[in-house]
Structure 1
Amino acid sequence: MPQSEATVIGGELDYQEHDFQRIRAMIFARAGIHLHDGKRAMVFNRLSKRLRLTGHRRFCDYLDQLDRAATAPEWEFFTNALTTNLSGFFREAHHFDVLAQWLQALSPQTNCTIWSCAAASGEEAYSIAMTADSALPNATQRIRIVASDINTQTLARAREGIYPASKVQSLEPEFLKNYFQKGTGVHTGQVRIQPWLVDWVTFAQINLQEPRWPSQVAQVDAIFCRNVLIYFQESTQRLVLEKLHQALTPAGHLFMGHAEHLGKHEDLFTPIGKTVYVKR
């Protein structure tokens, strides 16, 4: 039987090769995410729960339901299931050293906005906030922090600001004391971001592939866009980079992931450090 007609994976759920190809096209159109051929099993594992919850046995029927209503709430669950959300506090720590130095060099009268545009469950945004608070006096009055993601479920977790204690084991004791609350009782083994720090960050759902972004990120001074572009095709990468360039103020900073390089986009950004760029 040709692969295009065979059940790839599934058990009691019918999952065909043409379903996988259709899902690839749908998530690309919706969010710009490129799923390569090796993601067949991942797609099944992540979407099978949605099929069961919506009462479908066949992937094709579930996808037909989505296609019949472009604004249906199920699209949000579909997108959430297929987005990757890896995060941690102070990942790629050199970025936060650069951020602190840049903030400390600002004139006392300067205010600025920093945008974490793929914030996942919030660790990056809170790392930015902790860095700003430790680098500047009165940072909460001078620095505005926006954290966005396409995935509404992870944004909800980010707003809660509650994490396993294992996630902060490597942080300096002073940071733990100043910025976290230790869980007790039923919350033993967890930590919570200090409420004032949570309130400092503005959370928003933003799809980077949308033609228009909200006004709150229209003019920002620094953008963390780390390990995002690797999920986009080259043409989408260029479109997103052009919009990031437009959103940045003159000489604005762009922080990228360790696997992302802007060699083909030097007309937009100049490298000033390891995966740190400034707007041309």
Structure 2
Amino acid sequence: MPCADCYRGHDHLGPVHGREAVLHGHDVYIAEPQNRPLSQTGLIVVLSDAFGWDTINLRGVADRYAERTGCKVYLPDFMYVSGTSAPASIKSVIDRVLSEKGFWGWLVKPWLILKAAYIMVPFSVRNNPEKRYPGVRQFMDDLRCSEASDLKVGVVGFCWGAYGITHLAHGGLARNGKTLIDAAFTAHPSEIKVPEHIEDVKLPYSMVIGDIDFALPLKDVRKTAEILERKKDLDSEVVVIPNARHGFAVRGNPNNKEEKEMADQAEDQLVKWFGKHLV
């Protein structure tokens, strides 16, 4: 099950500029650059955090990625097919669980914990990333064999989505014989096991994470970096941001200067990474 920090964070305001469509059997938010030509070489697919494809936070991220890279960005719904994403209301519940103190906290925390578990446990069962991965892989296969047959494909995974993009980076092939993706990027990953899931990475892989992120402890981050560095023919990077909490790239406080700088650093890393691998 994801840690409590997977269900915390700030809700961002719009507007967002993309559109919704149905693509390869999934609802998809599609973002395209507004002020620059559309890339003819690359396409990006984003795998969401626990809150799913339809948050303003994630759609805003997709819009910015499209604008800064020039690539079309797909944000598919990999949860609603037979389940639901985590509702935004759980953020305030988790915040109270972690912040209530004193006698009142002693009284209300059991109820708050039960309320949180009522959401978190069913979500974790319905949307176990291993259970959802076949749908992710099929979408990427269909994509690679159609509109992305002659494009380079980058994938992004936040939190929950890290499992999917990490397994896609293992180098599996689509029906047309091409690798499903060309490069992967993850910010504050959860649901990945080290060393098991990292040892099989064969395609360019970039990670950014905070040093106080409980979803992937620092010892596992260091082990990840060691494993990737041993792969001499693999382009990879692991960037650790001091004091960055889980979710900082998507759910940080945009009005907090330090948190905004952390999110900007992650975005800059992605833009540079895909500028290198999707051209």
Quick check: which has more Rg, 1 or 2?
A: 1
Fold conserved (TM > 0.5)?
no
TM-score by length of 1: 0.33
Superposition TM-score, scaled by structure 2 size: 0.33
Instruction: Please identify which structure carries the higher helix content.
Output: 1
| Higher relative contact order (Cα pairs below 8 Å, separated by 6+ residues) | 2
